[in-house]
Amino acid sequence: MTGYTVGDEVYGCAGGLANLQGALAEFIPADARLIAHKPKSISMREAAALPLVGITAWEGLERAGVSSGQTVLVQGGAGGVDHVAVQLARHLGAEVSSTGTGTEQMSVIEGYGARPIDFTSEEIGAYVQSHTGGAGFDTVGGANLTNSFAAAALNAHVVTTVALSEIDLSPAHFKGLSLHIVFMLLPMLHDQGRDVHGQILADLAKLVDGGAVKPLLDGPDFALTQIGDAYARLQSGQAIGKVVVKV
């Protein structure tokens, strides 16, 4: 292994499935291709929140070809993957709108430089033409994927991380949409392209240290002995940003 010395602080999504041991532990063996030096400007707790969601958002926006001048809709911009997607899309020069609900979520979305859309009060048709001309990012899936089709412009891109459902693709057909499914666990499952994840993490660290990306952590602090409570918080639907367990 090259590029690392004893005592280096690193971060990555390097375990928890197939034959790769999980990360709910004090130590894990990690494939060096799946890690990178952590951003210097943030804490280890903040860095732990980034790899899975950061890689997912990066791959999704890359697949959709997001660039300067495009308009992008991110579903649920105060969520784990989505708050990073909002920031990366903004960094790429896109005009970003994002759905959410409640004062706290709207404040988070606006704070990242996106136009907040309260999906409980603003109909899809009200913002399709003026705010969704380039790409859509969806991590909700199911019926909400149909909403993403409705919000997308003609010949636009829709990126989803949740496609495990039967859904009518007719709306996508009649708009000529490109549907991209992102499953960031593939390199770990198939030992293919792991070095790409390491490079994304290295590039993401530079953006964090440059001030372009900041991780959003949910409020409660959980220790390793409170794993059950952490999962309960995650499943409650009340978390804003990422739930992190401190080891």
Evaluate if residue 136 carries a pLDDT over 80: no
Q: Report helix, strand or coil for 180.
A: strand
CA dihedral 13, 191, 57, 156 (to 10 degrees): -170
45 lies in a domain? yes
3 lies in a domain? no
Q: Tell me how many helices (H) and strands (E) the chain has.
A: 10, 10
4 lies in a domain? no
Evaluate if residue 34 carries a pLDDT over 80: yes
**pLDDT over 70 for what percent of the chain?**
94
Residues 6+ away with beta carbon under 8 Å from 170: none
Residues 6+ away with beta carbon under 8 Å from 35: 10, 11, 12, 14, 198, 201
**Given this model, what pLDDT does residue 130 score?**
54
At 180-229, the pLDDT tens digits run 999 999 999 999 999 999 999 999 999 999 999 999 999 999 999 999 99
59 lies in a domain? no
Q: Report helix, strand or coil for 150.
A: helix
At 143-154, the pLDDT tens digits run 788 888 988 889
Q: Report helix, strand or coil for 8.
A: coil
- Choose from 8-12, 116-120, 136-140 the range with maximum mean pLDDT: 8-12
Please tell me whether residues 226 and 201 are part of one structural domain: yes
Can you spell out the DSSP letters for 214-229? ---B-S--EEGGGHHH
Please tell me whether residues 109 and 40 are part of one structural domain: no
Tokens 């063996």, residue located: 29
Please tell me whether residues 47 and 153 are part of one structural domain: no
Tokens encoding 183:
């499953």
Q: How many structural domains comprise the chain?
A: 2
Among 132, 150, 181, where does a domain finish? 181
19 lies in a domain? yes
Please tell me whether residues 72 and 177 are part of one structural domain: yes
Please count the other Cβ atoms lying within 10 Å of the Cβ belonging to residue 115: 16
Please tell me whether residues 167 and 82 are part of one structural domain: yes
Please tell me whether residues 90 and 175 are part of one structural domain: yes
229 lies in a domain? yes
Amino acid at 125: G
Among 132, 151, 181, where does a domain finish? 181
Q: Is 143 exposed, middle or buried (0-12, 13-18, 19+ CB in 10 A)?
A: exposed
What is the band of 54 on the pLDDT scale with cuts at 50, 70, 90?
very high
Please tell me whether residues 84 and 44 are part of one structural domain: no
**Given this model, what pLDDT does residue 18 score?**
87
**Given this model, what pLDDT does residue 143 score?**
77
CATH number for 232: 3.90.180.10
Among 133, 158, 181, where does a domain finish? 181
Please tell me whether residues 88 and 39 are part of one structural domain: no
175 lies in a domain? yes
Please tell me whether residues 79 and 175 are part of one structural domain: yes
2 lies in a domain? no
Evaluate if residue 122 carries a pLDDT over 70: no
**Given this model, what pLDDT does residue 129 score?**
54
Q: Roughly how many angstroms between the first and final C-alpha of the chain, as a whole number?
A: 25
Please tell me whether residues 79 and 176 are part of one structural domain: yes
Please tell me whether residues 73 and 167 are part of one structural domain: yes
User: Are 127 and 153 in contact, with CB atoms under 8 Å apart?
Assistant: no
At 56-101, the pLDDT tens digits run 999 999 999 999 999 999 989 999 999 999 999 999 999 999 999 9
CATH number for 119: 3.40.50.720
For 117, the domain range is 64-181
Please tell me whether residues 242 and 157 are part of one structural domain: no
Q: How far apart are CA 230 and CA 119, in angstroms?
A: 27
Mean pLDDT of the chain: 91
